[in-house]
């Protein structure tokens, strides 16, 4: 589907022989599509192409490249060209570029930018000083403002001046007094009102403002809740520092989503993509979780060894252990996934715990009974297995699934309550926890339902 | 944090005694916050409050309630009031309401609406005729259009007329000729241009248009890719049917994410929230997956029984099986989660398979070796266990983790390739698959490293 894969090899040839033709071809395309194509070229080819373009044409393409692509291109591009392009980028994309670069490269480039475009360098510093995933880091300093309370006419002039400089979207004009945010005037009002209308008459309070230290996920929630396209970032003194636009929020949602999914899959969230994460960094992200789960699973072996007098007494009983305990893990994983997601979207609150417990125990009973029936039939497919053992397997499954659903649903709520990220109780952690409990349920059910068999066998511990 | 929980009980009292005071109190709040509060009241209390408000004040509150809350309120509210409110709702929210209602209730209300506000009823039918998760169902028919190519002045008049009717956001004016989309003029241009400018001079092609049958997830991808706030929906004849705004896309992203997470957790996606899903519907959504996994796990028992001459020959070997195979499931689950998410975001493509295989086998080797070392130490903590058995456990762990990473990463790519949703190979499915393979690896490693012990024991099969 991507143009790039179709024209890749041809493109490289044409780029070498007649770059101006390519430039003309690309001028028809959206910068996003050109970025897609450049992303598939070698960094030096992409750099050579971008360096030939006027900076104001190169910037909208460059800012749409992936971070790692930008980094690779910066490595091979003359610093003068990088600085020229950076000067033409949108302030938030520019700050993102400098954040993504290795510190020494970024610092050297910022010094160069300082000489060429001191205002742009200042904007980078303003944004970069806030933590990586905060509102301050996400905001752009490209917004229309009028320094005091004037008329619609002047606001239109401010929009005109802004429009000459930037393609950034305009939703509102911000009315400031000594940098303090007095109110906002939606663009729509500027279209509808008489030019002589006083802004003070039509300006309104913003629905929400956010502090630069607010986490980006919380900003996203606020904007989604109130259906906002833009939200102003103001500091403790109510001075306007920048605005956050919805297109960045869509990216935040995707990024937070990826982190959530990785946590649920038992991987510590990666900072970069799958291919960009270095091998040993990857080993650390996965290894920590695997080792913890592995050590938790030691207890399955300990438990089985501890109860060997039961497991050995019933021929073949040990062979049913993986089947039985994995079912507990699966049902518990379902429950914990449902609750973790419900907590994340806000549908479920810790105070709902008893309603959840009631539902989950009911579901555990119904699901466990169904699986117990299937399990019993399975056992009886072996002619040498007794009804007592088939009953033991069935009763164990009921107990294990009820226990799985209970632990799986209560653990995220408990963690949330004591201030730990509920996603920590993801399916693999729940599974390793309920595996041991599953073995204990199995041997105790067997000790009751098959008391004679167990007693008749070897001397108990 | 929510106002509702603080003032809940008091509010109910004041609502009974002095509803007008509450109305005044609420007029200060954003409709979203009022909806939050009403959502916590009993449906009849919320209905009574809404019915007292003028419809144009009630509509923005009502449309922000959750679907199930709307449904409960409609049940207890006089149909005349419902129809009055529906008539004042935004077209897309109105259509969502009718889709959410039970069919007979919805049809009866739509007939009533037809008599009060035929245009609104027509809009509901236009949106409702498209499939539930399609662009057509997501679009709103509230947009500004000018019927032929005129001047900026007339476009401003069209915005003014629209503004009197609706609070829906305005991003563009759509220029139509016999309903066909000729071009768009951004609101910003209307601010900046001379009123006498011809629209034909400043109108532009939309970056993207979507067909009403396009899936909402694809619409979201397109809008995210091109940083769009609004996208026009046009049919085969290029007639404009409606527009999709970014606030709805944010909701789509959250909803699709919930589905993805549920699939990864081994639950078939729920149509409603956790508490709204009926008990038996829930049992079906979870039961199908649990039964499939349970039947897959049968093979662990079959495999252990088949190799009982090995497991019985080595004292305590069977007790290590859950520990060993769960480690394969955990590492495989990590791999499949990473690949499924990468495929969803587009970072990973099936053609990358060999790079992934190479990485995953490398990671499996490193992770398996680390776990193997820990496993060996664990075995040797029992003085009665031999070095041969410790070595068997270590070598098995290496083999199992490499196998887990390989199966876990390749399965989603394979499914994608043959046109099946890769999320089908979620962690629990991978685990049940690699569990059997893990047992086979274990006994074969044992047969090699502990050949004498195995041979010395009972007669082989």
CATH code of the domain covering residue B397: 1.10.357.20
Closest CA to B71 of B112, B106, B108, B40: B106
Strands B144-146 and A240-245: unpaired
B207 touches A: beta carbon within 8 Å: yes
Mean pLDDT of B305-329: 92
CA dist., res. A4 & res. B340, Å (int) = 23
Mean pLDDT of B40-56: 89
Same domain, B284 and B229: no
Neighbours of B356 (CB within 10 A): 23
Torsion angle of C-alpha atoms B410, B416, B419, B424, degrees rounded to 10: 80
Indicate yes or no: CB of A265 within 8 angstroms of CB of B229.
no
Note the pLDDT of residue A17: 76
- This prediction has a pTM of 0.85
Indicate yes or no: CB of A294 within 8 angstroms of CB of B374.
yes
pLDDT tens-digit readout, A301-341: 999 999 999 998 888 899 999 999 999 999 999 999 999 99
Note the pLDDT of residue A8: 55
CA dist., res. B122 & res. B113, Å (int) = 9
Neighbours of B218 (CB within 10 A): 13
CA dist., res. A301 & res. B253, Å (int) = 43
CB within 8 Å of B361: residues ≥ 6 apart: B402, B405, B406
Interface test with B, best of A294, A303, A310, A349 (most B CBs within 10 A): A294
Nearest beta carbon to residue B258 from set A246, A290, A341? A341
Contacts of B279 in chain A (CB under 8 A): 359, 362-363, 366
Indicate yes or no: CB of B286 within 8 angstroms of CB of A334.
yes
Domain count, chain A: 3
CATH code of the domain covering residue A105: 1.25.60.10
Instruction: Name residue, tokens 């109105």.
Output: B94
Indicate yes or no: CB of B249 within 8 angstroms of CB of A254.
no
Is residue B6's pLDDT more than 50? Answer: no
Report ipTM (2 d.p.).
Answer: 0.85
Is residue B2's pLDDT more than 80? Answer: no
Contacts of B265 in chain A (CB under 8 A): 264, 333-334, 336-338, 341, 427
Nearest beta carbon to residue A326 from set B187, B251, B435? B435
Cα A294 → chain centroid: 26
Mean pLDDT of B400-406: 97
Interface test with A, best of B204, B309, B323, B367 (most A CBs within 10 A): B323
Is residue B176's pLDDT more than 90? Answer: yes
Same domain, B217 and B345: no
Is B291 within the bounds of a domain? yes
CA dist., res. A38 & res. A45, Å (int) = 8
B291 touches A: beta carbon within 8 Å: yes
Note the pLDDT of residue B458: 59
B107 to chain A, closest Cα gap in Å: 29
CB within 8 Å of A309: residues ≥ 6 apart: A454, A457, A458, A459, A460, A461
Same domain, A106 and A230: no
Same domain, A157 and A235: yes
Cα B331 → chain centroid: 25
Same domain, A65 and A13: yes
Note the pLDDT of residue A2: 43
Scan residues 380-419 of A and list those with Cβ closer than 8 Å to B: 401
- Cβ contacts below 8 Å, chain A against chain B, sum to 317
Is A254 within the bounds of a domain? no
pLDDT tens-digit readout, A284-310: 999 999 999 999 999 999 999 999 999
The three-point CA angle B171-B140-B73 to 5° equals 125
Closest CA to B396 of B343, B320, B302, B295: B320
Interface test with B, best of A330, A332, A374 (most B CBs within 10 A): A330
Note the pLDDT of residue B405: 97
Scan residues 318-357 of B and list those with Cβ closer than 8 Å to A: 318-323, 325-327, 329-331, 333-334, 336-342, 345, 347-348, 352, 355-356
Burial class (CB in 10 A: 0-12, 13-18, 19+), B75: middle
Give, for B175, the enclosing helix (H) or strand (E). strand B172-177
Same domain, A369 and A427: yes
Same domain, B421 and B448: yes
Is residue B1's pLDDT more than 70? Answer: no
Residues of chain A under the 50 pLDDT cut: 1-2, 4-6, 460-461
Note the pLDDT of residue B74: 93
B60 to chain A, closest Cα gap in Å: 12
Note the pLDDT of residue A455: 81
Indicate yes or no: CB of B289 within 8 angstroms of CB of A330.
yes
Of A129, A161, A194, which closes a domain? Answer: A129
Indicate yes or no: CB of B274 within 8 angstroms of CB of A333.
no
Q: What sign results for the dihedral spanned by CA atoms A12, A17, A23, A26?
A: negative
Of B262, B292, B323, which closes a domain? Answer: B262
CA dist., res. B128 & res. B272, Å (int) = 19
Please say whether the beta carbons of A19 and A49 come within 8 A: yes
Indicate yes or no: CB of B258 within 8 angstroms of CB of A308.
no
Torsion angle of C-alpha atoms B176, B179, B181, B184, degrees rounded to 10: 40
Is A257 within the bounds of a domain? no
Same domain, A316 and A433: yes
Is A266 within the bounds of a domain? no
Scan residues 231-290 of B and list those with Cβ closer than 8 Å to A: 246-247, 249-251, 253-254, 257-258, 260-262, 264-267, 273-275, 279, 282-283, 286-287, 289-290
Same domain, B231 and B122: no
Same domain, A230 and A303: no
CATH code of the domain covering residue A235: 3.10.580.10
Of A98, A129, A160, which closes a domain? Answer: A129
Nearest beta carbon to residue B327 from set A227, A294, A316? A294
Is residue B4's pLDDT more than 50? Answer: no
Indicate yes or no: CB of A326 within 8 angstroms of CB of B431.
yes
Give, for B393, the enclosing helix (H) or strand (E). helix B387-417
CB within 8 Å of B209: residues ≥ 6 apart: B181, B231, B232, B233, B234
Axis crossing angle, helix A317-345 with helix B246-264, rounded to the nearest 10? 170
Same domain, A323 and A435: yes
Domain range holding B117?
3-129
Same domain, A85 and A9: yes
Q: What sign results for the dihedral spanned by CA atoms A240, B226, B344, B275?
A: positive
A373 touches B: beta carbon within 8 Å: no
Is B194 within the bounds of a domain? yes
Give strand pairing partners of A186: A172
Helix H, strand E, coil C: the string for chain A is CCHHHHHHHHHHHHHHHCHHHHHHHHHCCCHHHHHHHHHCCCHHHHHHHHHHCCHHHHHHHHCCCCHHHHHHHHHHCCHHHHHHHHHHCCHHHHHHHHHHCCHHHHHHHHHHHHHHCHHHHHHHHHHHCCCCCEHHHHCECCCEEECCCCEHHHHHHHHHHHHHHCCCCCCEEEEEECCEEEEEEEHHHHHHCCCCCEHHHHCECCCCCECCCCEHHHHHHHHHHCCCCEEEEECCCCEEEEEEEHHHHHHHHHHHHHHHHHHHCCCCCCCCCCCCCCHHHHHHHHHHHHHHHHHHHHHHHHHHHHCHHHHHHCCCHHHHHHHHHHHHHHHHHHHHHHHHHHHHHCCCCHHHHHHHHHHHHHHHHHHHHHHHHHHHHHHHCCCCCCHHHHHHHHHHHHHHHHHHHHHHHHHHHHHHHCCCCHHHHCHHHHHHHHHHHHHHHHHHHHHHHCHHHHHHCCCCC
């Amino acid at each position: 589907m991507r143009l790039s894969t179709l024209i890749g090899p041809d493109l490289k040839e044409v780029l070498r022989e007649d770059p101006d033709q390519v430039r003309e071809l690309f001028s028809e395309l959206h910068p996003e599509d050109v970025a897609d194509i450049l992303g598939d070229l070698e960094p030096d080819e992409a750099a050579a192409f971008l360096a030939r373009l006027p900076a104001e044409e190169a910037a909208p393409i460059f800012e749409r490249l992936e971070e790692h692509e930008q980094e690779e291109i910066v490595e091979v591009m003359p610093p003068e060209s990088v600085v020229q392009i950076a000067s033409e980028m949108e302030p938030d994309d520019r700050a993102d570029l400098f954040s993504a670069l290795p510190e020494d490269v970024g610092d050297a480039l910022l010094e160069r930018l300082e000489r060429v475009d001191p205002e742009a360098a200042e904007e980078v510093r303003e944004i970069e000083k806030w933590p990586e995933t905060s509102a301050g880091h996400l905001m752009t300093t490209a917004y229309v403002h009028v320094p005091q309370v004037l008329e619609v006419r002047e606001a239109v002039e401010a929009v005109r001046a802004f429009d000459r400089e930037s393609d950034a979207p305009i939703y509102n004009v911000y009315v400031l007094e000594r940098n303090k945010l007095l109110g906002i005037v939606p663009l729509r009002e500027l279209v509808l009102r008489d030019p002589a209308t006083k802004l003070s008459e039509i300006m309104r309070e913003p629905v929400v403002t956010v502090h630069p230290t607010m986490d980006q996920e919380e900003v996203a929630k606020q904007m989604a809740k109130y259906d906002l396209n833009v939200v102003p970032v103001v500091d403790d003194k109510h001075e306007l520092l920048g605005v956050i636009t919805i297109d960045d929020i869509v990216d935040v949602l995707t990024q937070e989503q990826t982190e959530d999914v990785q946590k649920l899959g038992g991987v510590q969230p990666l900072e970069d993509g799958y291919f960009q994460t270095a091998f040993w960094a990857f080993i650390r992200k996965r290894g920590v979780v695997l080792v913890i789960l592995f050590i938790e699973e030691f207890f399955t072996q300990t438990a089985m060894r501890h109860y060997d007098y039961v497991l050995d007494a019933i021929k073949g009983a040990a062979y049913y252990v993986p089947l039985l305990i994995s079912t507990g893990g699966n049902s518990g994983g379902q429950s914990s996934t449902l609750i973790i997601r419900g907590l994340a979207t806000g549908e479920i609150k810790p105070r709902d715990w008893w309603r959840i417990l009631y539902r989950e125990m009911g579901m555990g009973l119904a699901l466990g009974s169904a699986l117990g029936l299937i399990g019993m039939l399975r056992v009886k497919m072996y002619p040498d297995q007794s009804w007592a053992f088939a009953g033991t397997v069935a009763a164990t499954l009921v107990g294990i699934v009820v226990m799985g659903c209970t632990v799986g649903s209560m653990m995220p709520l408990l963690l949330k309550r004591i201030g730990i990220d509920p996603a920590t109780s993801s399916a693999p952690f729940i599974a390793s926890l309920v595996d041991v409990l599953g073995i204990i349920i199995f041997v105790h059910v067997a000790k009751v339902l098959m008391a004679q068999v167990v007693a008749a066998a070897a001397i108990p511990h």
